Amino acid sequence: MPKGPRGEKRPADVIGAAVKVMRIATGEEEDERPVASAAAQLGKLGGAARAAGMTPERRAEIARKAAAKRWMKSGHSATPSKRTFPKPIKAPAIAGEFDSKLTPT
């Protein structure tokens, strides 16, 4: 039986996977997810404590730097260009404006 990303056993075929999900949902079978390691649990706590002690500006700065690193890693320039979208078409305020333009005078 193949293993998932966390080491859990999974059925190899689609129907077997669907049956397993149904059994878990109905309570016939326990959901067997391995418990996270102690290091992973402590890492979560440390990250939350670090974020709580920062100002929103500092968190935004760190996020901006991380995004720039990811952007560069994917082969782009240091700063992503701002996407521009076409301007929306402005609809006429009164429905009668179309009628007057379409009818011959």
Dist CA 20 CA 95 (whole Å): 57
Whether the CA torsion 44, 45, 46, 48 is positive or negative: it is positive
| Cβ neighbours of 85 (radius 10 Å) | 5
| Cβ neighbours of 34 (radius 10 Å) | 9
pLDDT in tens, the chain (105 residues): 666 666 667 777 888 888 888 988 898 988 777 677 888 888 888 888 988 999 999 999 999 999 988 888 887 765 656 666 667 777 666 655 555 555 555
Question: Domain residue spans in the chain?
Answer: 14-73
Q: Supply 99's token pair.
A: 């009628």
